[in-house]
């Protein structure tokens, strides 16, 4: 059973956090995984900052969108035509150290529209950049035997080519005119991710996901279902150690009337889906606008040690994890 001093420390921390929250001083820690697919539009940098993502991409090797502090642009070569020396130089100069590749090559005209053999013929120049490479992001069936992705990965392995992580798209097991069950969609996505990871044994990025039925046309669940899906899926994605990053599709509406997957309307108004994406966060708690000395003193009853005024993160959601000295374990926030 915990000793009385330990229990008093936990009570003191709980009360302190409640007081800080009442003053607006406790904020959720941003997730290094959470991103979005977007394109240039007025004030896009402000929207990226507002929605709280840590990375974004634009389906292109460079962007005119200024990156907010703490938000990384990740370049992409969208199809084979974009594999040029100039574009690869732009991708390297972005500073991300990462390159996404070939968007839905299995989805015919309008997308990258490439065979696995054509993609493999262009792979060596991508490896020569030294950038960390994501696989082509297929439209579907990435885990199926004999699929586009299966053929590409088999060919890459046979040729000794480097593929550093898998890129996936996922839009749900929808439903026609019947509203989706957000919880079952989360289970379906998790099962798909586990299947892909088990098959290829590589880290995973989801570079497009939302609840959309594409055939025929584009059909959407209500905003309430889309938002509930977001609230349920983010904790699941954050919990998977092999899931490195995810990007919602999309920041703005672009696929017809009645859409519910956009985080913002064209005029910059936050949607219900966007509010859920912004407000559903990782489990860490970050204390800001209070210096570290004050926090250490309040939370542990001991004077702070570094005097640098550095904010820090409390890990473990107040789980009672203790450091060797008997206090709670802290680390600098990213």
pLDDT digits (tens, 9 = 90+) for 181-240: 899 999 999 999 999 999 999 999 999 999 998 877 788 999 999 999 999 999 999 999
Region 313-328: what's the mean pLDDT?
30
What's the CA gap between 208 and 246, in Å, rounded? 8
Q: Which CATH number fits domain 32-279: 3.40.50.2300, 3.20.20.80, 3.90.245.10, 2.70.98.40?
A: 3.20.20.80
Q: Which residue carries 């974004």 as its tokens?
A: 56
pLDDT, position 311? 38
Lowest mean pLDDT among 37-41, 114-118, 280-284, 318-322: 318-322
pLDDT of residue 282: 57
d(C-alpha 220, C-alpha 48), whole Å? 24
pLDDT at residue 26 in the model: 44
Q: Which two tokens stand for residue 228?
A: 């509930």
What is the rounded average pLDDT of the residues 72-94?
98
pLDDT, averaged across the chain:
82
CA distance 311 to 213: 44
Beta-bridge mates of residue 71: none
Question: Quick check: 189 and 209 in contact, CB under 8 A?
Answer: yes
What's the rounded Cα separation, in Å, for the pair 67 and 171? 27
Residue 292 has pLDDT above 70, yes or no: no
Taking the domains of the chain in order of start, what are their residue ranges? Answer: 32-279, 283-334
Does this model's pTM top 0.85?
A: no
Q: Distance between CA atoms of 82 and 324, rounded to whole angstroms? A: 54
Share of the chain above pLDDT 70, in %: 73
* Candidate from 47-51, 248-252, 256-260 with smallest mean pLDDT: 256-260
Could you tell me where the DSSP H helices lie in 214-271?
Answer: 223-239
Label residue 314 by pLDDT band (50, 70, 90).
Answer: very low
Tokens encoding 115: 């065979």
Whether pLDDT at 126 is above 90: yes
């Amino acid at each position: 059973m915990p000793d009385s001093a330990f229990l008093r420390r936990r009570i003191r921390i709980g009360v302190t956090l409640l007081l800080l929250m009442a003053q607006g001083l406790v904020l959720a820690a941003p997730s290094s995984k959470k991103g979005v697919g977007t394109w240039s539009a007025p004030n896009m940098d402000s929207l990226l900052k507002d929605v709280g993502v840590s990375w974004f991409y634009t389906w292109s090797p460079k962007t005119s969108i200024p990156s907010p502090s703490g938000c990384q642009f990740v370049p992409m070569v969208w199809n084979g035509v974009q594999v040029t020396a100039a574009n690869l130089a732009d991708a390297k100069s972005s500073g991300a150290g990462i390159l996404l590749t070939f968007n839905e090559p299995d989805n015919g005209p309008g997308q990258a529209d490439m065979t696995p053999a054509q993609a493999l013929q262009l792979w060596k120049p991508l490896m020569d950049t030294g950038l960390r490479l994501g696989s082509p992001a297929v439209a579907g069936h990435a885990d199926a035997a004999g699929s586009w992705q299966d053929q590409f990965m088999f060919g890459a392995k046979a040729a000794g080519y480097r593929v550093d992580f898998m890129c996936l798209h996922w839009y749900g097991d929808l439903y026609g005119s019947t509203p989706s069950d957000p919880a079952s969609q989360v289970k379906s996505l998790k099962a798909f991710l586990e299947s892909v990871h088990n098959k290829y044994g590589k880290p995973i990025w989801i570079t497009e996901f939302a609840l959309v039925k594409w055939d025929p046309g584009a059909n959407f669940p209500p905003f309430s279902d889309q938002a509930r899906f977001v609230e349920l899926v983010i904790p699941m994605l954050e919990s998977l150690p092999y899931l490195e990053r995810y990007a919602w599709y999309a920041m703005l509406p672009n696929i017809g009337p009645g859409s519910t997957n956009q985080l913002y309307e064209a005029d910059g108004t936050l949607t219900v889906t966007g509010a859920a994406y912004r407000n559903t966060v990782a489990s860490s708690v970050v204390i800001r606008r209070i210096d570290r000395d004050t926090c250490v003193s309040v939370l542990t009853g001991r004077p702070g040690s570094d005097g640098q005024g550095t904010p820090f993160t409390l890990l473990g959601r107040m789980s009672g994890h203790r450091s060797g000295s008997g206090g709670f374990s802290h680390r600098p926030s990213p």
